[in-house]
Amino acid sequence: MFEDLYSRELHVAFLKAKSEAFKSYKHYEAWVKVHHNPSSIACLGSNRGGEFLDGDFTTYLQDVRTIHHLNVHDSPQSNGVVEHLNQTLIESAQCMLFASNLPPFLWAEGIHHATWLCAQISSRALPSCITPIEQATGYKPDLKRVLIFGAIVWMKVKDVGKLDSQAVEGYFVGYDEECKGYHLYFPKR
């Protein structure tokens, strides 16, 4: 999880192995440069996990002059903001999965949607309790058409016979970051 402490924007990356952390960080850094236009990230705070202390990762941070701030060894409480946020996202995903009766293997979709929601709602950590999106972009989010996680949705089916079903039932599990689309779950597929 990456959090911009200025805007409180969150980005979550799901890794199959800790060795993917460096690649994930570079992807996040590129996103920050495109959307917020800084020349570089000034400081990266992390725990002392091996994925953050890898030689290539450390060398890269030194080369781009990013300060690497490490928390105290064996004390996750010194990294309190992110640790608390991580727990909040996990609990939010659990609640959404439980309330919607969707299977537990959709946990990543739940966390992804909880992350999206956090960006859309006001934060006491920001001036005047504005939203992270508003802090980062200057625009207030429009929440008039927010869907509930696990809501039943119908997707139109193309190229079917005249008497065949024209839609298939599924469940809403989040918004797509790359397009104006949705993530849907179809239990029968």
Domain identity same for 50 and 91: yes
Identity of residue 104: P
Domain identity same for 106 and 164: no
Domain identity same for 97 and 166: no
pTM for the model stands at: 0.84
Q: Are 115 and 3 in contact (CB under 8 A)?
A: no
145 occurs within a structural domain:
no
- CATH number of the domain at 6, please: 3.30.420.10
163 occurs within a structural domain:
yes
74 occurs within a structural domain:
yes
**Cα–Cα distance for residue pair 15/130, rounded to 1 Å:** 31
78 occurs within a structural domain:
yes
Q: 168-180 pLDDT, tens per residue?
A: 999 999 998 888 8
Sequence-distant (6+) residues with CB within 8 A of 185 are 102, 106, 109, 170, 171, 173
146 occurs within a structural domain:
no
Q: Which domain holds residue 171?
A: 152-185
Q: 120-162 pLDDT, tens per residue?
A: 988 888 888 899 988 888 888 888 888 999 999 999 988 888 8
